[in-house]
Amino acid sequence: MTTFTPDARLATNNVLLCEWPLSQVWLVNDSRYPWIMLVPKRTAIVEIFDLDEPDQIQLGRESLRLAQYMLKYFTADKMNVAAIGNVVPQLHVHHVARFKTDATWPGTVWGVGTPVPYEAMALSAMTEELSAQLTELLA
């Protein structure tokens, strides 16, 4: 474990699933959509191009592996992958598994409606399984 601490707005209510070489992997606590953020463990980085080149390549690799994993694991219809950061500038990359039946399809998820936290048991089970599998994925 590193001692990297992300912006509190990225961490609050969310769950740290694992640490990858570059990024922390955070589950967003919103049961409306499977939603995982990569937060590179670098300070004072806002845009992807603020990373140095090896980190840019590593972020691309981690993002692709995560998106591929999520599409399959959640049997989703589409992955939405985005670096936005208008509210929290610290670089974080959203990975949202989307379904044609979900609450806002085909619209995007940011700023729409109100997050619905997982129930405690469901969150605990999901965290345990995702932590193990995602740790394994980049081991």
Q: Which residues bind a copy of itself (CB under 8 A)?
A: 46-49, 56-57, 60, 63-64, 67-68, 71, 78-87, 89, 98, 105-108, 110-111
Q: C-beta of 70: minimal distance to a copy of itself in Å?
A: 10
Q: Indicate the residue among 15 and 37 with the shorter CB distance to a copy of itself.
A: 37
Q: C-beta of 38: minimal distance to a copy of itself in Å?
A: 13
Query: How many Å apart are CA 39 and CA 138, to the nearest integer?
Result: 15
3-class SS at 62? helix
Listed residue (122, 100, 108) closest to 29, CA to CA: 122
Q: C-beta of 109: minimal distance to a copy of itself in Å?
A: 9
User: Which residues neighbour 3 within 8 Å (Cβ) at sequence distance 6 or greater?
Assistant: none
Phi first, then psi: what are they for 7, rounded to 5°? -45, 135
Buried b (16+ CB within 10 A) or exposed e, 92-101: bbbbbbbeee
Q: Indicate the residue among 85 and 115 with the shorter CB distance to a copy of itself.
A: 85
Q: C-beta of 122: minimal distance to a copy of itself in Å?
A: 25
Q: Indicate the residue among 16 and 51 with the shorter CB distance to a copy of itself.
A: 51
Q: Indicate the residue among 82 and 132 with the shorter CB distance to a copy of itself.
A: 82
